[in-house]
Amino acid sequence: MPLFGTDGVRGLANGPLTADLALSLAQATAVVLGQGRSADARRAAGKRITAVVARDPRVSGEFLSAAVEAGLASSGVDVYDAGVLPTPAAAFLIADMDADFGVMVSASHNPAPDNGIKIFARGGVKLPDIVEDRIERAMDGEKWQPTGAGVGRIRRFADAEDRYVVHLLASLPNRLDGLHVVLDCAHGAASGVSPETFKDAGAKVTVIGADPDGLNINDGVGSTHLDGLAAAVVKHGADVGIAHDGDADRCLAVDADGNVVDGDQIMAILAVSMKQRGALKDDTLVATVMSNLGLHRAMAEQGIRVEQTAVGDRYVLERMNEGGFSLGGEQSGHVIMSEYATTGDGLLTGLHVVAEMARTGRTLAELASVMTVYPQVLVNVKGVDREGVKHPAVLEAVAAAEAELGDTGRVLLRASGTEPVVRVMVEAASAEDAQRHADRLAEVVQLELALA
My answer on whether 277 and 388 are in the same domain is: no
My answer on whether 192 and 247 are in the same domain is: yes
pLDDT of residue 44: 67
The band of 408, judged by pLDDT with boundaries at 50, 70 and 90, is confident
**What are the two backbone dihedrals, phi and then psi, of residue 30, each rounded to the nearest 5 degrees?**
-60, -40
Residue 1 domain-assigned (yes or no): no
Q: Please say which residue of 339, 368, 397 terminates a domain.
A: 368
Q: Please say which residue of 368, 401, 427 terminates a domain.
A: 368
Residue 209 domain-assigned (yes or no): yes
Mean pLDDT computed over 414-419: 76
Does 108 appear as a known binding residue? yes
Q: Please say which residue of 334, 368, 402 terminates a domain.
A: 368
Residue 2 domain-assigned (yes or no): no
- pLDDT surpasses 80 at 418: no
Mean pLDDT computed over 383-391: 85
The band of 416, judged by pLDDT with boundaries at 50, 70 and 90, is confident
Mean pLDDT computed over 80-101: 97
For the chain, what is the mean pLDDT? 94
| Weakest mean pLDDT among 5-9, 233-237, 255-259, 267-271 | 5-9
Residue 3 domain-assigned (yes or no): no
My answer on whether 292 and 409 are in the same domain is: no
My answer on whether 227 and 190 are in the same domain is: yes
Residue 151 domain-assigned (yes or no): yes
pLDDT of residue 196: 97
My answer on whether 200 and 284 are in the same domain is: yes
pLDDT of residue 62: 98
Residues 6+ positions from 199 with CB-CB distance below 8 Å: 205
Mean pLDDT computed over 106-116: 96
Mean pLDDT computed over 152-166: 97
My answer on whether 344 and 440 are in the same domain is: no
Residue 83 domain-assigned (yes or no): yes
My answer on whether 174 and 267 are in the same domain is: yes
pLDDT tens across 307-339, in order?
999 888 889 999 999 999 999 999 999 999 999
Does 249 appear as a known binding residue? yes
| Weakest mean pLDDT among 39-48, 56-65, 91-100, 220-229 | 39-48
Residue 123 domain-assigned (yes or no): yes
Catalytic member of 65, 74, 106, 108: 108
Mean pLDDT computed over 54-77: 98
- pLDDT surpasses 70 at 349: yes
Predicted TM-score of the model (pTM) = 0.92
Q: Cα–Cα distances in Å, from 438 out to 378, 397, 400, 423?
A: 7, 11, 12, 10
pLDDT of residue 39: 67
pLDDT tens across 187-229, in order?
999 999 999 999 999 999 999 999 999 999 999 999 999 999 9
My answer on whether 231 and 356 are in the same domain is: yes
My answer on whether 94 and 175 are in the same domain is: no
My answer on whether 146 and 169 are in the same domain is: no
Name which of 381, 391, 376 is nearest 435 in CA terms: 376
pLDDT tens across 1-18, in order?
789 987 899 999 999 999
> Percentage of residues in the chain with pLDDT exceeding 90?
87
My answer on whether 18 and 89 are in the same domain is: yes
Residue 29 domain-assigned (yes or no): yes
State which residues form the domain around 26. Answer: 9-158
> Percentage of residues in the chain with pLDDT exceeding 70?
98
My answer on whether 351 and 398 are in the same domain is: no
Name which of 47, 28, 55, 161 is nearest 116 in CA terms: 55
Mean pLDDT computed over 358-379: 96
At 384, which CATH number? 3.30.310.50
At 131, which CATH number? 3.40.120.10
- pLDDT surpasses 90 at 439: yes
The domain total for the chain is: 3
- pLDDT surpasses 90 at 386: no
How far apart CA 316 and CA 328 sit, in angstroms, is: 6
Contact 246, 58 (CB under 8 A): yes
- Whether residue 38 lies in the annotated active site: no
The band of 47, judged by pLDDT with boundaries at 50, 70 and 90, is confident
101 pairs with which residues across the strands? 51, 121
> Mind spelling out the 3-state secondary structure of the chain?
CCCCECCEEEEEECCCECHHHHHHHHHHHHHHHCCCHHHHHHHHCCCCCEEEEEECCCCHHHHHHHHHHHHHHCCCCEEEEEEECCHHHHHHHHHHCCCCEEEEECCCCCCCCEEEEEEEECCCEECCHHHHHHHHHHCCCCCCCCCHHHCCCEEECCCHHHHHHHHHHHHCCCCCCCCEEEEECCCCCCCCHHHHHHHHCCCEEEEECCCCCCCCCCCCCCCCCCHHHHHHHHHHCCCEEEECCCCCCCCEEECCCCCEECHHHHHHHHHHHHHHCCCCHHHEEEEECCCCHHHHHHHHHCCCEEEEECCCHHHHHHHHHHHCCCEEECCCCCEEECCCCCCCCHHHHHHHHHHHHHHHCCCHHHHHCCCCCCCEEEEEEECECHHHCCCHHHHHHHHHHHHHHHHHCEEEEEECCCCCEEEEEEECCCHHHHHHHHHHHHHHHHHHHECC
